[in-house]
Structure 1
Amino acid sequence: MSVLTVNNISMSFGGVKAVSNVNMKIKHGEIIGLIGPNGAGKTTFFNLLTGIYSPTEGEIIYNFDKNVHPNKMKPHEIAAAGIGRTFQNIRLFSEMTVEENVRVGFHKNIKYKAISSLFRTLSYYKEEENADKKVMELLKIFNLDGKREELSKNLSYGEQRRLEIARALASNPKVLLLDEPAAGMNPNETHELMELIRWIKDKFDITIILIEHDMSLVMSVCNRLYVLDYGKLIANGTPEEIRHNPAVIKAYLGGEDEAC
Protein backbone atom coordinates (compact mmCIF):
# COMPACT_ATOMS: atom_id res chain seq x y z
CA MET A 1 0.00 0.00 0.00
CA SER A 2 1.22 3.51 -0.82
CA VAL A 3 2.00 5.66 2.21
CA LEU A 4 2.05 8.76 -0.01
CA THR A 5 0.07 9.45 -3.16
CA VAL A 6 0.63 12.58 -5.25
CA ASN A 7 -1.90 13.23 -8.01
CA ASN A 8 -1.09 15.82 -10.70
CA ILE A 9 0.40 18.37 -8.30
CA SER A 10 1.28 21.80 -9.67
CA MET A 11 2.48 24.99 -7.97
CA SER A 12 2.57 28.33 -9.72
CA PHE A 13 4.15 31.58 -8.59
CA GLY A 14 2.64 34.22 -10.85
CA GLY A 15 3.20 32.91 -14.35
CA VAL A 16 5.97 30.50 -13.35
CA LYS A 17 5.20 26.85 -12.66
CA ALA A 18 7.71 25.71 -10.02
CA VAL A 19 6.10 22.24 -9.94
CA SER A 20 4.12 20.95 -12.90
CA ASN A 21 1.76 17.93 -12.96
CA VAL A 22 3.84 15.67 -10.71
CA ASN A 23 2.59 12.18 -9.82
CA MET A 24 4.10 9.81 -7.24
CA LYS A 25 3.26 6.67 -5.32
CA ILE A 26 5.58 5.84 -2.43
CA LYS A 27 5.33 2.67 -0.35
CA HIS A 28 5.87 2.27 3.37
CA GLY A 29 9.48 1.61 4.30
CA GLU A 30 11.05 2.91 1.10
CA ILE A 31 13.98 5.31 0.92
CA ILE A 32 13.18 7.62 -1.97
CA GLY A 33 15.54 10.12 -3.56
CA LEU A 34 14.28 13.34 -5.13
CA ILE A 35 16.98 14.71 -7.40
CA GLY A 36 17.43 17.27 -10.15
CA PRO A 37 19.49 20.32 -11.11
CA ASN A 38 19.38 23.50 -9.03
CA GLY A 39 16.04 25.25 -9.46
CA ALA A 40 14.26 22.05 -10.48
CA GLY A 41 11.50 22.53 -7.87
CA LYS A 42 12.63 19.99 -5.27
CA THR A 43 12.34 22.17 -2.15
CA THR A 44 9.08 23.65 -3.45
CA PHE A 45 7.79 20.09 -3.67
CA PHE A 46 8.78 19.44 -0.03
CA ASN A 47 6.99 22.66 0.93
CA LEU A 48 3.86 21.29 -0.72
CA LEU A 49 4.18 17.97 1.14
CA THR A 50 4.41 19.81 4.48
CA GLY A 51 1.70 22.41 3.94
CA ILE A 52 3.94 25.46 3.68
CA TYR A 53 2.48 25.93 0.19
CA SER A 54 -0.94 24.86 -1.04
CA PRO A 55 -0.88 23.41 -4.56
CA THR A 56 -2.58 25.38 -7.29
CA GLU A 57 -3.65 22.08 -8.82
CA GLY A 58 -3.79 18.42 -7.79
CA GLU A 59 -3.93 16.50 -4.53
CA ILE A 60 -1.57 15.03 -1.94
CA ILE A 61 -2.66 12.18 0.33
CA TYR A 62 -0.71 10.53 3.13
CA ASN A 63 -2.28 7.11 3.55
CA PHE A 64 -2.08 6.59 7.31
CA ASP A 65 -4.72 5.03 9.59
CA LYS A 66 -6.59 8.27 9.00
CA ASN A 67 -5.72 9.88 5.68
CA VAL A 68 -3.85 13.18 5.82
CA HIS A 69 -4.53 15.83 3.16
CA PRO A 70 -1.86 18.58 3.19
CA ASN A 71 -4.00 20.59 0.74
CA LYS A 72 -6.49 21.20 3.53
CA MET A 73 -4.26 21.34 6.62
CA LYS A 74 -1.85 23.75 8.29
CA PRO A 75 1.86 22.85 8.65
CA HIS A 76 1.63 22.15 12.39
CA GLU A 77 -1.33 19.84 11.83
CA ILE A 78 0.58 17.93 9.16
CA ALA A 79 3.58 17.60 11.48
CA ALA A 80 1.34 16.34 14.27
CA ALA A 81 -0.17 13.77 11.88
CA GLY A 82 3.22 12.15 11.33
CA ILE A 83 5.37 14.15 8.89
CA GLY A 84 8.88 15.07 10.05
CA ARG A 85 11.23 17.34 8.16
CA THR A 86 14.68 18.90 8.05
CA PHE A 87 15.59 21.95 5.98
CA GLN A 88 18.13 22.84 3.32
CA ASN A 89 19.34 25.67 5.57
CA ILE A 90 19.61 24.32 9.12
CA ARG A 91 16.85 25.64 11.36
CA LEU A 92 17.77 24.94 14.95
CA PHE A 93 16.99 27.02 18.02
CA SER A 94 20.48 28.46 18.27
CA GLU A 95 20.18 29.76 21.85
CA MET A 96 18.78 26.49 23.16
CA THR A 97 20.84 23.50 24.22
CA VAL A 98 21.18 20.30 22.23
CA GLU A 99 18.88 18.54 24.67
CA GLU A 100 16.28 21.33 24.53
CA ASN A 101 16.22 21.26 20.73
CA VAL A 102 15.40 17.55 20.65
CA ARG A 103 12.91 17.95 23.48
CA VAL A 104 10.94 20.42 21.35
CA GLY A 105 10.26 17.57 18.95
CA PHE A 106 8.44 15.63 21.67
CA HIS A 107 5.91 18.40 22.20
CA LYS A 108 3.11 16.76 20.24
CA ASN A 109 3.52 13.49 22.18
CA ILE A 110 3.22 15.03 25.66
CA LYS A 111 -0.09 13.83 27.08
CA TYR A 112 -0.45 15.70 30.37
CA LYS A 113 -2.70 18.77 30.49
CA ALA A 114 -1.80 22.31 31.49
CA ILE A 115 -3.27 21.84 34.95
CA SER A 116 -0.99 18.84 35.54
CA SER A 117 1.99 21.00 34.65
CA LEU A 118 0.81 23.77 36.95
CA PHE A 119 0.34 21.51 39.98
CA ARG A 120 3.14 19.07 39.16
CA THR A 121 0.94 15.98 39.32
CA LEU A 122 2.11 12.37 39.06
CA SER A 123 1.17 12.24 35.37
CA TYR A 124 3.33 15.32 34.77
CA TYR A 125 6.41 13.71 36.33
CA LYS A 126 5.84 10.42 34.49
CA GLU A 127 5.54 12.16 31.11
CA GLU A 128 8.60 14.32 31.78
CA GLU A 129 10.63 11.29 32.83
CA ASN A 130 9.58 9.43 29.70
CA ALA A 131 10.50 12.42 27.52
CA ASP A 132 13.92 12.71 29.20
CA LYS A 133 14.58 9.04 28.53
CA LYS A 134 13.64 9.29 24.84
CA VAL A 135 15.67 12.46 24.36
CA MET A 136 18.77 10.76 25.71
CA GLU A 137 18.17 7.70 23.52
CA LEU A 138 18.11 9.91 20.42
CA LEU A 139 21.17 11.88 21.51
CA LYS A 140 23.10 8.64 21.97
CA ILE A 141 22.01 7.37 18.55
CA PHE A 142 23.35 10.56 16.95
CA ASN A 143 26.46 10.66 19.13
CA LEU A 144 25.39 13.94 20.72
CA ASP A 145 24.79 12.81 24.30
CA GLY A 146 28.16 14.21 25.40
CA LYS A 147 27.04 17.66 24.24
CA ARG A 148 23.53 17.68 25.66
CA GLU A 149 24.11 20.96 27.55
CA GLU A 150 25.94 22.68 24.68
CA LEU A 151 24.16 25.49 22.83
CA SER A 152 23.24 24.25 19.35
CA LYS A 153 24.96 27.23 17.73
CA ASN A 154 28.29 26.01 19.10
CA LEU A 155 28.11 22.63 17.36
CA SER A 156 30.04 21.84 14.21
CA TYR A 157 28.13 21.88 10.93
CA GLY A 158 27.91 18.08 10.77
CA GLU A 159 26.70 17.91 14.38
CA GLN A 160 24.01 20.49 13.66
CA ARG A 161 22.82 18.39 10.74
CA ARG A 162 22.57 15.32 12.99
CA LEU A 163 20.79 17.32 15.67
CA GLU A 164 18.18 18.52 13.20
CA ILE A 165 17.47 14.94 12.13
CA ALA A 166 17.26 13.85 15.79
CA ARG A 167 14.75 16.62 16.48
CA ALA A 168 12.64 15.57 13.49
CA LEU A 169 12.62 11.96 14.73
CA ALA A 170 11.57 13.06 18.20
CA SER A 171 8.10 13.80 16.83
CA ASN A 172 7.75 10.08 15.97
CA PRO A 173 7.05 10.63 12.25
CA LYS A 174 5.68 8.08 9.81
CA VAL A 175 7.36 9.88 6.90
CA LEU A 176 10.68 11.73 7.25
CA LEU A 177 11.66 14.36 4.67
CA LEU A 178 15.38 15.20 4.54
CA ASP A 179 16.35 18.28 2.52
CA GLU A 180 20.02 17.94 1.48
CA PRO A 181 21.17 16.16 4.66
CA ALA A 182 24.74 15.71 3.35
CA ALA A 183 25.23 19.37 2.43
CA GLY A 184 28.52 20.66 3.84
CA MET A 185 29.69 17.25 5.01
CA ASN A 186 33.07 15.73 4.21
CA PRO A 187 33.27 12.26 2.56
CA ASN A 188 33.65 10.46 5.89
CA GLU A 189 30.64 12.25 7.40
CA THR A 190 28.63 11.53 4.25
CA HIS A 191 29.43 7.80 4.50
CA GLU A 192 28.37 7.78 8.17
CA LEU A 193 25.15 9.59 7.22
CA MET A 194 24.46 6.97 4.55
CA GLU A 195 24.65 4.19 7.12
CA LEU A 196 22.60 6.25 9.58
CA ILE A 197 19.76 6.77 7.08
CA ARG A 198 19.50 3.03 6.46
CA TRP A 199 19.54 2.35 10.19
CA ILE A 200 16.88 5.01 10.90
CA LYS A 201 14.55 3.49 8.32
CA ASP A 202 14.78 0.06 9.93
CA LYS A 203 14.92 1.20 13.57
CA PHE A 204 11.94 3.55 13.36
CA ASP A 205 10.06 1.64 10.63
CA ILE A 206 9.44 4.78 8.60
CA THR A 207 9.50 6.01 5.02
CA ILE A 208 12.26 8.45 4.08
CA ILE A 209 12.25 10.91 1.18
CA LEU A 210 15.43 12.87 0.66
CA ILE A 211 16.59 15.68 -1.59
CA GLU A 212 20.29 15.34 -2.25
CA HIS A 213 22.93 16.48 -4.75
CA ASP A 214 25.51 13.91 -3.63
CA MET A 215 24.95 11.21 -6.24
CA SER A 216 27.11 8.66 -4.43
CA LEU A 217 24.76 8.90 -1.46
CA VAL A 218 21.46 8.69 -3.34
CA MET A 219 22.67 5.91 -5.63
CA SER A 220 23.80 3.86 -2.63
CA VAL A 221 21.00 4.40 -0.13
CA CYS A 222 17.78 4.92 -2.15
CA ASN A 223 15.41 2.22 -3.37
CA ARG A 224 13.99 4.45 -6.07
CA LEU A 225 14.61 7.93 -7.48
CA TYR A 226 12.36 10.64 -8.86
CA VAL A 227 13.97 13.28 -11.08
CA LEU A 228 12.65 16.83 -11.47
CA ASP A 229 13.75 19.32 -14.10
CA TYR A 230 12.15 22.76 -14.39
CA GLY A 231 9.35 21.53 -12.12
CA LYS A 232 8.48 18.54 -14.29
CA LEU A 233 8.98 14.89 -13.40
CA ILE A 234 11.22 13.61 -16.19
CA ALA A 235 12.05 10.14 -14.84
CA ASN A 236 11.59 7.70 -11.98
CA GLY A 237 13.03 4.28 -11.30
CA THR A 238 15.80 2.39 -9.58
CA PRO A 239 19.21 4.06 -9.16
CA GLU A 240 20.60 1.91 -11.98
CA GLU A 241 17.74 2.86 -14.32
CA ILE A 242 18.17 6.55 -13.52
CA ARG A 243 21.93 6.39 -13.96
CA HIS A 244 21.49 5.47 -17.63
CA ASN A 245 18.32 7.44 -18.40
CA PRO A 246 18.99 9.76 -21.40
CA ALA A 247 16.58 12.47 -20.15
CA VAL A 248 18.35 12.57 -16.78
CA ILE A 249 21.79 12.68 -18.37
CA LYS A 250 20.69 15.55 -20.59
CA ALA A 251 19.20 17.48 -17.64
CA TYR A 252 22.42 17.22 -15.65
CA LEU A 253 25.06 17.36 -18.34
CA GLY A 254 23.36 19.02 -21.30
CA GLY A 255 24.11 16.04 -23.53
CA GLU A 256 23.22 12.41 -24.03
CA ASP A 257 26.57 10.75 -24.40
CA GLU A 258 27.67 10.42 -20.77
CA ALA A 259 26.29 8.62 -17.74
CA CYS A 260 25.58 10.21 -14.36
Structure 2
Amino acid sequence: MSVLQLNNVSRFFGGIKAVSGVNMDIAPGEILGLIGPNGAGKTTLFNLLTGIYKPTEGDIIYNFQRAKSTKELKPYKIGNLGVARTFQNIRLFGNMTLTENVKAGYHNKIKYGLLASFFRTNRYYKGEEILEKKVLELLDIFNLLEKKDELAKNLPYGDQRRLEIARALASEPKILLLDEPAAGMNPKETNELMHLIKWIRDKFDITIILIEHDMSLVMSLCSKIFVLDYGEVIAEGTPEEIKKNPKVINAYLGGEGELC
Protein backbone atom coordinates (compact mmCIF):
# COMPACT_ATOMS: atom_id res chain seq x y z
CA MET A 1 0.00 0.00 0.00
CA SER A 2 1.21 3.52 -0.75
CA VAL A 3 1.80 5.91 2.15
CA LEU A 4 0.84 8.96 0.11
CA GLN A 5 -1.46 9.54 -2.84
CA LEU A 6 -2.03 12.71 -4.80
CA ASN A 7 -5.09 12.55 -7.01
CA ASN A 8 -5.26 15.25 -9.70
CA VAL A 9 -4.00 17.90 -7.26
CA SER A 10 -4.03 21.52 -8.44
CA ARG A 11 -3.45 24.86 -6.75
CA PHE A 12 -4.39 28.10 -8.45
CA PHE A 13 -3.55 31.64 -7.36
CA GLY A 14 -5.98 33.75 -9.33
CA GLY A 15 -5.32 32.82 -12.92
CA ILE A 16 -1.89 31.30 -12.18
CA LYS A 17 -1.68 27.51 -12.04
CA ALA A 18 1.14 26.96 -9.54
CA VAL A 19 0.44 23.22 -9.46
CA SER A 20 -1.76 21.53 -12.04
CA GLY A 21 -3.19 17.99 -12.17
CA VAL A 22 -0.45 16.26 -10.17
CA ASN A 23 -0.83 12.53 -9.54
CA MET A 24 1.58 10.60 -7.33
CA ASP A 25 1.59 7.22 -5.61
CA ILE A 26 4.44 6.92 -3.12
CA ALA A 27 5.47 3.63 -1.53
CA PRO A 28 6.75 3.17 2.04
CA GLY A 29 10.50 3.56 2.46
CA GLU A 30 11.11 5.37 -0.83
CA ILE A 31 13.54 8.25 -1.20
CA LEU A 32 11.79 10.27 -3.85
CA GLY A 33 13.19 13.29 -5.67
CA LEU A 34 11.14 16.29 -6.76
CA ILE A 35 13.03 18.39 -9.27
CA GLY A 36 12.36 21.10 -11.82
CA PRO A 37 13.48 24.59 -12.89
CA ASN A 38 12.99 27.54 -10.56
CA GLY A 39 9.31 28.43 -10.28
CA ALA A 40 8.17 24.96 -11.34
CA GLY A 41 5.88 24.57 -8.31
CA LYS A 42 8.00 22.31 -6.09
CA THR A 43 7.74 24.28 -2.84
CA THR A 44 4.06 24.97 -3.52
CA LEU A 45 3.57 21.20 -3.67
CA PHE A 46 5.33 20.82 -0.29
CA ASN A 47 3.03 23.51 1.10
CA LEU A 48 0.07 21.50 -0.16
CA LEU A 49 1.39 18.30 1.42
CA THR A 50 1.73 20.02 4.80
CA GLY A 51 -1.58 21.87 4.72
CA ILE A 52 -0.20 25.40 4.42
CA TYR A 53 -2.16 25.57 1.17
CA LYS A 54 -5.32 23.62 0.38
CA PRO A 55 -5.77 22.13 -3.10
CA THR A 56 -7.99 24.12 -5.45
CA GLU A 57 -8.80 20.77 -7.04
CA GLY A 58 -8.03 17.15 -6.25
CA ASP A 59 -7.17 15.36 -3.03
CA ILE A 60 -4.13 14.41 -0.94
CA ILE A 61 -4.42 11.20 1.07
CA TYR A 62 -2.00 9.86 3.68
CA ASN A 63 -2.23 6.11 4.28
CA PHE A 64 -0.66 5.46 7.66
CA GLN A 65 -2.84 3.48 10.06
CA ARG A 66 -5.81 4.37 7.88
CA ALA A 67 -6.41 6.56 4.85
CA LYS A 68 -6.83 10.22 5.76
CA SER A 69 -7.62 13.07 3.38
CA THR A 70 -6.00 16.42 4.19
CA LYS A 71 -8.94 18.48 2.88
CA GLU A 72 -10.28 19.44 6.30
CA LEU A 73 -7.04 19.17 8.29
CA LYS A 74 -5.04 22.11 9.62
CA PRO A 75 -1.23 21.93 9.28
CA TYR A 76 -0.69 20.86 12.91
CA LYS A 77 -3.13 17.98 12.42
CA ILE A 78 -1.20 16.84 9.36
CA GLY A 79 1.99 17.07 11.43
CA ASN A 80 0.39 14.93 14.14
CA LEU A 81 -0.49 12.34 11.49
CA GLY A 82 3.23 11.85 10.87
CA VAL A 83 4.45 14.46 8.37
CA ALA A 84 7.47 16.71 9.03
CA ARG A 85 9.44 19.09 6.83
CA THR A 86 12.42 21.36 6.57
CA PHE A 87 12.47 24.63 4.63
CA GLN A 88 14.42 26.05 1.72
CA ASN A 89 15.43 28.95 3.96
CA ILE A 90 16.49 27.57 7.32
CA ARG A 91 13.93 28.32 10.04
CA LEU A 92 15.58 27.59 13.36
CA PHE A 93 14.98 29.36 16.66
CA GLY A 94 18.22 31.33 16.47
CA ASN A 95 18.28 32.54 20.07
CA MET A 96 17.59 29.08 21.49
CA THR A 97 20.18 26.37 22.09
CA LEU A 98 20.47 23.26 19.97
CA THR A 99 18.90 21.27 22.80
CA GLU A 100 15.96 23.67 23.00
CA ASN A 101 15.44 23.59 19.22
CA VAL A 102 15.22 19.80 19.09
CA LYS A 103 13.10 19.70 22.24
CA ALA A 104 10.60 21.99 20.47
CA GLY A 105 10.23 19.32 17.80
CA TYR A 106 8.99 16.88 20.43
CA HIS A 107 6.11 19.15 21.50
CA ASN A 108 3.42 16.75 20.26
CA LYS A 109 5.02 13.78 22.05
CA ILE A 110 5.07 15.25 25.56
CA LYS A 111 3.23 12.98 28.02
CA TYR A 112 2.54 15.45 30.84
CA GLY A 113 -0.07 18.20 30.86
CA LEU A 114 -0.14 21.89 31.76
CA LEU A 115 -0.91 21.33 35.44
CA ALA A 116 1.94 18.85 35.83
CA SER A 117 4.26 21.39 34.22
CA PHE A 118 3.02 24.25 36.39
CA PHE A 119 3.26 22.37 39.69
CA ARG A 120 6.44 20.48 38.71
CA THR A 121 5.00 17.08 39.60
CA ASN A 122 6.82 13.74 39.41
CA ARG A 123 5.08 13.17 36.06
CA TYR A 124 6.65 16.38 34.76
CA TYR A 125 10.18 15.47 35.89
CA LYS A 126 9.89 11.94 34.53
CA GLY A 127 8.65 13.29 31.20
CA GLU A 128 11.49 15.82 31.02
CA GLU A 129 14.04 13.11 31.78
CA ILE A 130 12.78 10.94 28.93
CA LEU A 131 12.60 13.96 26.61
CA GLU A 132 16.15 15.09 27.43
CA LYS A 133 17.48 11.62 26.68
CA LYS A 134 15.77 11.55 23.26
CA VAL A 135 17.05 15.04 22.40
CA LEU A 136 20.65 14.17 23.25
CA GLU A 137 20.43 10.95 21.25
CA LEU A 138 19.30 12.88 18.17
CA LEU A 139 22.01 15.50 18.58
CA ASP A 140 24.57 12.71 18.88
CA ILE A 141 23.32 11.07 15.67
CA PHE A 142 23.87 14.35 13.83
CA ASN A 143 27.31 14.97 15.41
CA LEU A 144 26.00 18.02 17.23
CA LEU A 145 26.13 16.79 20.81
CA GLU A 146 29.24 18.78 21.74
CA LYS A 147 27.43 21.97 20.69
CA LYS A 148 24.18 21.21 22.53
CA ASP A 149 24.33 24.37 24.66
CA GLU A 150 25.30 26.75 21.85
CA LEU A 151 22.79 29.12 20.26
CA ALA A 152 21.51 27.87 16.91
CA LYS A 153 22.32 31.18 15.19
CA ASN A 154 26.02 30.71 15.96
CA LEU A 155 26.31 27.40 14.10
CA PRO A 156 28.03 27.07 10.71
CA TYR A 157 25.60 26.73 7.82
CA GLY A 158 26.04 22.96 7.40
CA ASP A 159 25.38 22.37 11.10
CA GLN A 160 22.25 24.51 10.93
CA ARG A 161 20.95 22.31 8.12
CA ARG A 162 21.60 19.17 10.16
CA LEU A 163 19.96 20.69 13.22
CA GLU A 164 16.84 21.52 11.21
CA ILE A 165 16.60 17.90 10.04
CA ALA A 166 17.12 16.68 13.62
CA ARG A 167 14.31 18.93 14.83
CA ALA A 168 12.00 17.59 12.10
CA LEU A 169 12.81 14.01 13.11
CA ALA A 170 11.98 14.81 16.73
CA SER A 171 8.27 14.69 15.83
CA GLU A 172 8.83 11.02 14.85
CA PRO A 173 7.37 11.39 11.34
CA LYS A 174 6.43 8.67 8.88
CA ILE A 175 7.16 11.00 5.95
CA LEU A 176 9.97 13.56 5.95
CA LEU A 177 9.93 16.40 3.41
CA LEU A 178 13.33 18.01 2.77
CA ASP A 179 13.33 21.30 0.84
CA GLU A 180 16.77 21.78 -0.75
CA PRO A 181 18.75 20.18 2.12
CA ALA A 182 22.07 20.54 0.26
CA ALA A 183 21.66 24.26 -0.50
CA GLY A 184 24.79 26.16 0.50
CA MET A 185 26.81 23.03 1.25
CA ASN A 186 30.24 22.27 -0.17
CA PRO A 187 30.89 18.94 -1.99
CA LYS A 188 32.18 17.22 1.17
CA GLU A 189 29.14 18.29 3.19
CA THR A 190 26.82 17.25 0.36
CA ASN A 191 28.38 13.77 0.22
CA GLU A 192 28.01 13.42 3.99
CA LEU A 193 24.39 14.55 3.70
CA MET A 194 23.66 11.90 1.07
CA HIS A 195 24.86 9.12 3.36
CA LEU A 196 23.00 10.69 6.28
CA ILE A 197 19.67 10.76 4.41
CA LYS A 198 20.02 7.08 3.46
CA TRP A 199 20.87 6.25 7.06
CA ILE A 200 17.86 8.24 8.34
CA ARG A 201 15.52 6.36 5.98
CA ASP A 202 16.79 3.00 7.23
CA LYS A 203 17.21 3.91 10.91
CA PHE A 204 13.82 5.56 11.35
CA ASP A 205 11.95 3.47 8.73
CA ILE A 206 10.44 6.50 7.02
CA THR A 207 9.67 7.75 3.55
CA ILE A 208 11.63 10.78 2.34
CA ILE A 209 10.70 13.28 -0.36
CA LEU A 210 13.25 15.90 -1.25
CA ILE A 211 13.39 18.97 -3.44
CA GLU A 212 16.92 19.50 -4.67
CA HIS A 213 18.84 21.31 -7.40
CA ASP A 214 22.04 19.29 -6.95
CA MET A 215 21.47 16.71 -9.67
CA SER A 216 24.37 14.49 -8.62
CA LEU A 217 22.80 14.16 -5.15
CA VAL A 218 19.34 13.44 -6.55
CA MET A 219 20.58 10.87 -9.06
CA SER A 220 22.69 9.07 -6.45
CA LEU A 221 20.10 9.12 -3.69
CA CYS A 222 16.61 8.73 -5.15
CA SER A 223 14.96 5.54 -6.38
CA LYS A 224 12.28 7.54 -8.20
CA ILE A 225 12.11 11.12 -9.47
CA PHE A 226 9.23 13.39 -10.42
CA VAL A 227 9.97 16.39 -12.64
CA LEU A 228 7.79 19.50 -12.46
CA ASP A 229 7.68 22.27 -15.04
CA TYR A 230 5.15 25.13 -14.90
CA GLY A 231 3.29 23.22 -12.18
CA GLU A 232 2.81 20.02 -14.17
CA VAL A 233 4.56 16.66 -13.87
CA ILE A 234 6.38 16.29 -17.19
CA ALA A 235 8.22 13.09 -16.31
CA GLU A 236 8.58 10.43 -13.63
CA GLY A 237 10.86 7.44 -13.38
CA THR A 238 14.22 6.13 -12.25
CA PRO A 239 17.31 8.36 -12.32
CA GLU A 240 18.51 6.68 -15.52
CA GLU A 241 15.17 7.30 -17.23
CA ILE A 242 15.03 10.92 -16.10
CA LYS A 243 18.59 11.68 -17.25
CA LYS A 244 17.70 10.84 -20.84
CA ASN A 245 14.12 12.06 -20.96
CA PRO A 246 13.76 14.61 -23.82
CA LYS A 247 11.14 16.70 -21.95
CA VAL A 248 13.41 16.98 -18.92
CA ILE A 249 16.45 17.85 -21.00
CA ASN A 250 14.48 20.54 -22.81
CA ALA A 251 13.17 22.01 -19.54
CA TYR A 252 16.66 22.21 -18.04
CA LEU A 253 18.99 22.59 -21.00
CA GLY A 254 16.69 23.92 -23.71
CA GLY A 255 17.90 21.34 -26.19
CA GLU A 256 19.94 18.18 -26.63
CA GLY A 257 22.23 16.59 -24.08
CA GLU A 258 21.99 14.48 -20.96
CA LEU A 259 21.08 15.73 -17.53
CA CYS A 260 23.93 15.30 -15.03
TM range (shorter): over 0.9
CA RMSD of aligned residues (A): 0.7
Query: How far has the Cα of 1:81 moved from its partner?
Result: 1.2
SS at match of 2:20: strand
Correspondence for 2:156: 156
Correspondence for 1:231: 231
Q: What's the TM-score, normalizing by structure 2?
A: 0.98
SS at match of 2:93: coil
Which amino acid letter does the alignment assign opposite residue 12 of structure 1? F
In structure 2, what is the Cα distance between the partners aligned to 1:14 and 1:68?
A: 28
In structure 2, what is the Cα distance between the partners aligned to 1:72 and 1:225?
A: 29
* 1:48–1:70 Cα contact (<8 Å) kept: no
SS at match of 1:68: strand
In structure 2, what is the Cα distance between the partners aligned to 1:68 and 1:184?
A: 36
SS at match of 1:72: coil
Runs of 4+ aligned structure 1 residues displaced above 4 Å come to none
Query: How far has the Cα of 1:112 moved from its partner?
Result: 1.0
Correspondence for 1:50: 50
SS at match of 1:59: strand
Query: How far has the Cα of 1:121 moved from its partner?
Result: 2.1
Correspondence for 1:17: 17
SS at match of 2:68: coil
Q: Which runs of 5+ in 2 are unaligned?
A: none
In structure 2, what is the Cα distance between the partners aligned to 1:67 and 1:163?
A: 31
Q: How does 1:31-180 map onto structure 2 within 5 Å? A: 31-180=31-180
Q: What's the TM-score, normalizing by structure 1?
A: 0.98
SS at match of 2:5: strand
* 1:7–1:23 Cα contact (<8 Å) kept: yes
Correspondence for 1:258: 257
In structure 2, what is the Cα distance between the partners aligned to 1:189 and 1:70?
A: 35
Which amino acid letter does the alignment assign opposite residue 29 of structure 2? G
In structure 2, what is the Cα distance between the partners aligned to 1:228 and 1:165?
A: 24
Query: How far has the Cα of 1:117 moved from its partner?
Result: 1.4
**How many residue pairs get matched?**
259
Deviation string 1:109-164 (CA, Å, 9 cap, x unpaired) is: 00111121122222212211111000001000111111111110000111100000
Correspondence for 1:212: 212
SS at match of 2:194: helix
Q: Which runs of 5+ in 1 are unaligned?
A: none
SS at match of 1:225: strand
SS at match of 1:184: coil
Aligned-residue identity in percent: 68
